[in-house]
Chain A
Amino acid sequence: MSFVPPARHLLRARDLADARYFEPLDVDDLARAAGLSRAHFSREFRRAFGEAPHSYLLTRRLERAAALLRTTDRSVTDVCFSVGLQSVGSFTTSFKRMFGESPTAYRVSFPPATLQARVPACVVRFYGRPQHRTFREDSGSARL
Chain B
Amino acid sequence: MIKIANAQLWVHDQDEALAFYTQKLGFEVRSDVTLAEMGNFRWLAVGPAGQDDTSIVLMAIPGAPVMDSETADQVRELMGKGFAGTIFLTTEDCQASYEELKGRGVEFVEAPEERPYGIDSGFRDPSGNHFRLTQVREEALA
Contact = CB atoms under 8 A, between A and B. Distances in A.
Given A8-B128, A18-B109, A19-B110, A49 B16 contact: no
Contacts of B13: 1-2
B107 A7 contact: no
B135 interface: no
B79 interface: yes
A8 B108 contact: no
B16 A1 contact: yes
A73 interface: no
Contacts of A4: 12, 80
Contacts of A5: 12, 76-77, 79-80
Contacts of B111: 19
A7 B109 contact: no
A132 to B, nearest CB: 35
Interface residues of B, number: 19
B81 interface: yes
A10 B108 contact: no
B69 to A, nearest CB: 12
A19 B102 CA distance: 13
Contact of B128 (A1, A11, A19): A11
Interface string B102-142: 00000111110000000000001001100000000000000
Nearest to B15: A1
A89 B126 CA distance: 39
A78 interface: no
Interface in A1-47: 1-11, 14-15, 18-19
A15 B124 contact: yes
Contacts of A19: 107-111
Nearest to A14: B82
A48 interface: yes
Contacts of A49: 81
B20 to A, nearest CB: 13
Interface in A83-142: none
A7 B124 contact: no
A114 B110 CA distance: 25
A6 B80 contact: yes
A15 B107 contact: yes
A48 B77 CA distance: 9
A18 B128 contact: no
A19 B109 CA distance: 5
7 contacts: A1-B15, A8-B12, A14-B82, A15-B124, A19-B107, A19-B108, A19-B111
Q: Top 8 closest A-B pairs, CB basis?
A: A7-B80, A5-B80, A8-B80, A5-B76, A7-B81, A2-B13, A15-B109, A11-B82
